[in-house]
Chain A
């Protein structure tokens, strides 16, 4: 199957600090891939580097045949990447409906239908659609953030720690929704919550100190407690 996203020997930096120093990943159409690793390993930076929010020093990032290195963030997004940051990135002074409307790209013709569809996935958002985002709970903000990535026909969706800071009951709801979304979308998921990652992803990459060190099928990782202990501290 053709790869949607291919990252090779990626090095990136923030200020004077090199964060990524050799990341290789490949995501194929329809896959859900988990990026795992300890705190500070460079997982979130990988997503930010793909989005052009962190500077690339060397290496390549290909979306299909298109290189994403050195082009502005808005161009990267317009090539068909949805991004869900770890702090949700919702706009507090816009309503839920406005947050969704703003996310619809010019080339998306069925935006209204897609908004109706995300309201079906997250009915809470439909009920509160005219509420300002600043009044939402953490779980609702996360739902809104994910929904924004669903209102376009994206080639891939990058999701950064969707369970972060959420109550277990909310994480369960989110897991069900993400599993459903993964049936129709290609997902690159950064997640600290091992069980959530296992519930959604079919393959994984482990990043340690800015490098990809191991990859494989998620069911093999579930069996390999030694690997979990070494790289994930579980």
Chain B
């Protein structure tokens, strides 16, 4: 029983991390129809930015905020100079974001080198607590709290704020949003950058968990994020959240009981979903990829 609880907490925290990366992808895909293959690079930039600032200031909070800010700015650059020229042209978007991914990973290697940089969890959150024989990592609890907080905040923004309304309206009719006097392009830029910042947050939180940061870390996390958005329903925010936590839990349990199946299971589930429910496991019947599942 103890091991089940430990695996459950580990799975939830893995799911929270996957969600932080996939939520940005889902928002960018949901509003703008952009499949962003540069998300992995943004994730890694978040990790390196965190390590850079954390080593300078020894402040976990500053490191996290700086990582989000730096990746937010990168998101603005990506959208303004590259992606904004290619709305509606999916093949070109894929090519350019793949190119950006390669270029920005190489820039990391130029600046920080090719070898992993070790990073410890901050002291205040590095401990564990044992309750009834179950070992609970404080850092993993923090990941779960941040993941759920992001889910609640983003959901609230999408449902209740003017920004959320613009996003939901812009998904369907960006021309009509403009005809109401709203600069939808500005919202596109902000949403892309916000999605990027979430990837940055994921990267920043992942580095202390992994114990190091390395330029290749983005690839695996990006694949997991894509699996989550396919299972959740492309562009479906709440579906992506459910899928992320499901993947996290599945990873934890499969990796414990059948370790060699851990990676295979994710891809297998994605393949089954694509074959039998291509609109996504949590899509509630909507088939379009351009729908954020925000129910009132």
Q: Which residues does A use to contact B, with CB under 8 Å?
A: 51, 53, 72-74, 77-78, 83, 85, 89, 91-95, 98-99, 101-103, 105, 130, 132, 148, 152
B175 within 8 A of A: yes
Q: How distant is the Cα of A28 from the Cα of B223 in the complex, in angstroms?
A: 60
Segment among B140-148, B163-171, B269-277 that sits at the interface with chain A: B163-171
* Binary CB contact string for chain B from 151 to 185 against chain A (1 if under 8 A, 0 otherwise): 00000000000100110110111011111111110
Query: Is A51 in contact with B179, judged by CB distance below 8 angstroms?
Result: yes
Q: How distant is the Cα of A93 from the Cα of B237 in the complex, in angstroms?
A: 14
- Report, nearest first, the 4 A-B pairs whose CB atoms are least far apart: A77-B181, A89-B176, A91-B169, A73-B178
Q: How distant is the Cα of A103 from the Cα of B296 in the complex, in angstroms?
A: 19
CB within 8 Å for A98 and B178 given contacts A72-B183, A74-B183, A93-B294? no
Query: Is B180 in contact with A94, judged by CB distance below 8 angstroms?
Result: no
B291 within 8 A of A: yes
Query: Is A93 in contact with B168, judged by CB distance below 8 angstroms?
Result: yes
Query: Is A132 in contact with B296, judged by CB distance below 8 angstroms?
Result: yes
Q: Which residues does B use to contact A, with CB under 8 Å?
A: 162, 165-166, 168-169, 171-173, 175-184, 291-292, 294, 296
Smallest CB–CB gap between B292 and chain A, Å? 8
A130 surroundings in chain B (CB, below 8 A): 296
Q: How distant is the Cα of A89 from the Cα of B182 in the complex, in angstroms?
A: 14
Smallest CB–CB gap between A69 and chain B, Å? 16
Query: Is B175 in contact with A53, judged by CB distance below 8 angstroms?
Result: yes
Interface of B is mostly: helix
Q: How distant is the Cα of A112 from the Cα of B290 in the complex, in angstroms?
A: 31
A74 surroundings in chain B (CB, below 8 A): 178-184
B179 surroundings in chain A (CB, below 8 A): 51, 53, 73-74, 77, 83, 85, 89
11 A-B pairs in the complex with CB atoms less than 8 angstroms apart: A74-B179, A74-B180, A78-B181, A89-B175, A91-B176, A94-B169, A101-B165, A102-B162, A102-B169, A102-B177, A152-B181
Q: How distant is the Cα of A94 from the Cα of B163 in the complex, in angstroms?
A: 13
Q: How distant is the Cα of A98 from the Cα of B161 in the complex, in angstroms?
A: 10
Query: Is A91 in contact with B168, judged by CB distance below 8 angstroms?
Result: yes
Using A72-B178, A99-B169 as known contacts, list a sample of 14 further A-B pairs with CB atoms less than 8 Å apart, ordered by residue number in A: A53-B175, A73-B179, A74-B178, A74-B179, A74-B182, A85-B179, A89-B175, A89-B179, A91-B168, A91-B176, A93-B168, A93-B169, A93-B172, A101-B162
Q: How distant is the Cα of A72 from the Cα of B175 in the complex, in angstroms?
A: 11
Smallest CB–CB gap between B51 and chain A, Å? 40
Query: Is A77 in contact with B168, judged by CB distance below 8 angstroms?
Result: no
Q: How distant is the Cα of A27 from the Cα of B172 in the complex, in angstroms?
A: 32
Smallest CB–CB gap between A141 and chain B, Å? 12
Query: Is B166 in contact with A102, judged by CB distance below 8 angstroms?
Result: yes
Query: Is A77 in contact with B178, judged by CB distance below 8 angstroms?
Result: yes
CB within 8 Å for A102 and B180 given contacts A89-B173, A92-B172, A93-B168? yes
Query: Is B168 in contact with A148, judged by CB distance below 8 angstroms?
Result: no
B294 surroundings in chain A (CB, below 8 A): 93
Q: Which of A72, A94, A152 touches B168 (beta carbons < 8 Å)?
A: A94
Smallest CB–CB gap between A71 and chain B, Å? 11
Query: Is A94 in contact with B184, judged by CB distance below 8 angstroms?
Result: no
A132 surroundings in chain B (CB, below 8 A): 296
Q: How distant is the Cα of A148 from the Cα of B169 in the complex, in angstroms?
A: 14
Chain A residue nearest to B294 (CB atoms) is: A93
Q: How distant is the Cα of A127 from the Cα of B294 in the complex, in angstroms?
A: 23
Q: How distant is the Cα of A176 from the Cα of B43 in the complex, in angstroms?
A: 58
A83 surroundings in chain B (CB, below 8 A): 179
Smallest CB–CB gap between B157 and chain A, Å? 14
Q: How distant is the Cα of A132 from the Cα of B168 in the complex, in angstroms?
A: 12
A98 surroundings in chain B (CB, below 8 A): 165
B177 surroundings in chain A (CB, below 8 A): 102
B180 surroundings in chain A (CB, below 8 A): 74, 77, 102-103, 105, 148
